[in-house]
Amino acid sequence: MKQFQIAENTWKIGTNLGNEELFEGIWPTPDGVSINAYLIKEEKTVLIDLVKKGRQFIDCYEAELNAVGVSLKNIDYLILNHMEPDHTGAMGELFKLNPSLRIFCTKKAAPMLKAFYGIEENVTTVSDGETLDLGNGRVLTFFETPNIHWPETMMTYDNREKILFSCDAFGSYKALPDGKAFDDEISEEEMKAFQAETLRYYANIVSTFTPFVLNGLKKLSSLEIRIIAPSHGIIWREHPETIVGWYTKLCGLATRGDCRITVIWSSMYGNTESMLETVLKTLDEEQIPYSVYKVPNEPQISYLLADCWRSEGIILGMPTYEYRMFPPMAHVLDLIDRSHIKNRLVFRFGSYGWSGGAQKQLDEITSKLNWTFLNPVEFQGSPKNEDREKAVCEVKKLISEIKGGRNGEVTPKEGYSF
Ligand code: FEO
């Protein structure tokens, strides 16, 4: 078994989850996801974060600890940066093995620990800036970083080795490749895949909390950080500034997306789809990068959110269904709203049978997103030539607005601009 030593007396332990289960019960992870935890062995032996529920995971952790002369039975301290069960599900099993374990977590985490696992003894709550001395000159400092990703979240900073144990922040989907954990071990191709999966992870589970991520980045900016050790994904020991740059860019996309468009469409009998062809032809002629998603297609929603997060323009092709939005599209718009995909330029087109109404509901759903709508093009039944002309005109206006004010900045058609 390969050991991932990240500093003196410090190891990554952890497991890769496969693609069998949806992350958080909703998001697909076709390339898996890693759950990273960390072991520090000084005068005190400390585990930072844990793993989801499952005997196989505890057994795997025990084997990794044994390889460096430690057992779960003699861990002194467990630091819980975050209560979400992907990092705490194994609490019950660990406690059975080691009932005298002392837990450190934030004040907000303590009642959750009781509610989720019935644990309230041996718990020490810590506040922002409090420290924990492990002996041998090793002191950890805790930084409360609420809502990255739950309200009780904190990060742990290792003052001696300058390691930031950042929990969900700076994380990504995608399992770690065999035998690799550090950024300097990851190939260029793998790095590109991690970049894509960082965007999707951010858009799926972090984007809602972007103002808190910005607060966290500001709070941590004065720390000297040599290594970033997140709970998911790559450990950044050679270029930690890379992942900080990625997250800074991802936060910035909340204000203005890249020069690209995400097209989301659905059609009942092919009439809205017929107009889609006109819209896509215009996008091709105007040479702007775009992605297309047909709705419904539940597994694709995770990717749709990622593309919406990075696109300044959104085009919605959606028929009216019984005076309101086409129901699967309403579901997508609800997720877009929850993900706080704000400040976008939006054009909608769609067919109706006997009466419109989709736009009214769309306006209601997106009222807090600060979307700027171009004139919608709605048509009864199939689109006529004048409808197509209007749509082409609106799409060209949309593209012109998106391209404006970028000083010739070009967004790559493939890959990512961060
Ligand atoms: Fe990786 Fe919010 O848990």
pTM equals 0.96
Q: Are 42 and 68 in contact (CB under 8 A)?
A: no
Nearest in space to 162 (alpha carbons), one of 224, 88, 243, 98: 224
Rounded-to-integer distance, Cα 333 and Cα 341, Å: 10
Rg of the chain (C-alpha set): 24
Q: Give the atom of ligand 1 at the shortest distance from the alpha carbon of 167.
A: 1
The rounded Å distance from CA 53 to ligand 1 centre is 14
Q: How far is the CA of 231 from the centre of ligand 1 (A)?
A: 8
pLDDT of residue 406: 82
Task: Say what the pLDDT of residue 47 is.
Answer: 98
Preceding omega of 376 cis (within 30 degrees of 0): no
- pLDDT value for 410: 63
**Residue partners of 178: CB distance under 8 A and separation at least 6:** none
Dihedral sign from CA coordinates of 76, 79, 83, 85 = negative
* Size (the chain), residues: 418
Main-chain phi, psi angles of 366, to 5 degrees = -100, 15
E-state strands within 194-326: 227-230, 258-265, 290-294, 311-317, 320-321, 324-325
Distance CA 23, CA 318 (A): 29
172/243 Cα distance (integer angstroms): 10
- Which residues lie below 8 Å from residue 265, measured CB to CB, with a gap of 6+? 272, 273, 276, 292, 293, 294, 295, 315, 316, 317, 318
* Cα 85 to middle of ligand 1, angstroms: 7
Q: Which residues of 394-408 are buried (b: 16+ CB within 10 A; e: fewer)?
A: bbeebbeebbeeeee
Closest CA to 229 of 90, 384, 34: 34
Task: State the greatest distance between any 2 C-alpha atoms of the chain, in Å, as a whole number.
Answer: 78
pLDDT (0 to 100) of residue 165 = 98
Count the neighbouring beta carbons within 10 Å of the beta carbon of residue 322. Answer: 11
Spacing, Cα 7 to ligand 1 middle (Å): 24
Q: Whose C-alpha lies nearest to ligand 1, atom 1? A: 168
Written as tens digits, the pLDDT of the chain (418 aa) is 789 999 999 999 999 999 999 999 999 999 999 999 999 999 999 999 999 999 999 999 999 999 999 999 999 999 999 999 999 999 999 999 999 999 999 999 999 999 999 999 999 999 999 999 999 999 999 999 999 999 999 999 999 999 999 999 999 999 999 999 999 999 999 999 999 999 999 999 999 999 999 999 999 999 999 999 999 999 999 999 999 999 999 999 999 999 999 999 999 999 999 999 999 999 999 999 999 999 999 889 999 999 999 999 999 999 999 999 999 999 999 999 999 999 999 999 999 999 989 989 999 999 999 999 999 999 999 999 999 999 999 999 999 999 997 876 767 777 777 7
Protein residues whose CB sits closer than 6 Å to any atom of ligand 1? 82, 84, 86-87, 149-150, 168, 231-232
Point out the ligand 1 atom lying closest to the alpha carbon of residue 232. Answer: 1
Cα 229 to ligand 1 centre (Å): 14
Amino acid at 118: G
Please name the residue whose Cα sits nearest to atom 3 of ligand 1: 84
Cα-based angle 291, 293, 294 (whole degrees, multiple of 5): 150
Ligand 1 center from residue 253 Cα (angstroms): 22
